[in-house]
Homo-oligomer: A and B are copies of this chain.
Amino acid sequence: MKKTSLSDIARQLGVSKTLVSLVLNGKAKEHRISDEMSNKVKKLAKELNYKPNQIAKGLRTGRTNTIGLIIADIANPFFGKLGREIEKEAAAHGYRIVFCSSDENPDNSQKQIEMLQQGQVDGFIIAPPAGSENQILSLKRNKIPFVLIDRNFPDIDTNYIVVDNIQAAFEATDHLVKQGYSKIACVTLNVHLNNMNQRVLGYKQALIENNIPVDEELIKMMPFTHEKDDIAEAVKQLEPGNKSKVEAIFFATSKLGIMGLETLHSLGLHIPGDIAVVSFDDPDAYKISQPPVSAIAQPLQEIGRESVKVLLDMIHDRNAETKKIVLKAKFIPRKSSGF
């Protein structure tokens, strides 16, 4: 049972496939096709269960109704949830999502973008890994529609949707201070991404504003290929028993936070009694953790929606001016910071 094509319908009705195409694309009126013929076509199309071949359509029109989503890792709940929101908004506009996980590796994202660029997607939503500036520039140069999410490159004029990382990190750290902690450590990624830099910046600003000296010893930069052992090592150095007398830790990502908590627990430390914890991002894990973890929740739905909208704007008008959207993240104090 072969799929029915435009020509099949046209042949059976003894008309041209152009006519059939026009009718089924709702351009009948515009092209003065008689209602009688219109109805005949529609009826037969339904009978034969005609479904247009999107590939053929794509070849002719140059549009695929598909968005390429390049993120670090779909298995990471942050990106998973974000992906879901993007999928939802895209579907609402008749778009599909093909996703690629880059593992924060620019070589991967490079290959993935190249692969999808061969006429398969109308545009990209990208969380660009560090070192992928040239890829982004190349997209821009070729006028490929795209929008960055989660992080952006300040030196490149592009669309982007991010959160105010400085303010969010500030708020979380400030909260720790207000809760009475002053020896506050920061565990972050040793990676040149502006969102990460800004999180550390917000952390520092909060300390400074509260007249607490910034101790670089207390800022642990993890290699971005971080494994559990790395975090364990870093966290152990921050153990309150040590000379540094750390009282609280600010984790700059949920992956760091989750691994860090595992270590803290395995050390038998009581949270927040022995050490308090706050973290960027708000995975389910933090809600059921005992105690629940104070977290910075990003507005995933809004990020998802806006990124799709901005991208579609760009697709429809490649010369549209770039949109730079900075959203507010929400700090949720929980028991892990003595709240």
Q: Which residues, 53 to 73 on A, are CB-close (under 8 Å) to B? A: 53-56, 58-59, 64, 66, 73
Q: A98 at the A/B interface (Cβ < 8 Å)?
A: yes
Assuming the contacts A75-B77, A289-B288, A289-B289, asked whether A98 and B96 have C-beta atoms less than 8 A apart, the reply is: yes
Assuming the contacts A66-B98, A285-B283, A289-B288, asked whether A77 and B80 have C-beta atoms less than 8 A apart, the reply is: yes
How far does the alpha carbon of A52 sit from the alpha carbon of B117 in the complex, in Å?
10
Q: A41 at the A/B interface (Cβ < 8 Å)?
A: no
Q: A74 at the A/B interface (Cβ < 8 Å)?
A: yes
The interface stretch among A81-89, A172-180, A202-210, A320-328 is A81-89
Contact A265 B285 (CB under 8 A): no
Contact B96 A115 (CB under 8 A): yes
Assuming the contacts A101-B87, A258-B288, asked whether A118 and B59 have C-beta atoms less than 8 A apart, the reply is: no
How far does the alpha carbon of A115 sit from the alpha carbon of B64 in the complex, in Å?
12
Q: A51 at the A/B interface (Cβ < 8 Å)?
A: yes
Assuming the contacts A56-B59, A262-B288, A288-B285, asked whether A75 and B83 have C-beta atoms less than 8 A apart, the reply is: yes
Q: A284 at the A/B interface (Cβ < 8 Å)?
A: yes
Contact A120 B290 (CB under 8 A): no
| Across-interface contacts of A75 in B (CB, < 8 A) | 77, 80-81, 83-84
| Across-interface contacts of A83 in B (CB, < 8 A) | 74-75, 99
Q: Residue of B at shortest CB range from A117?
A: B51
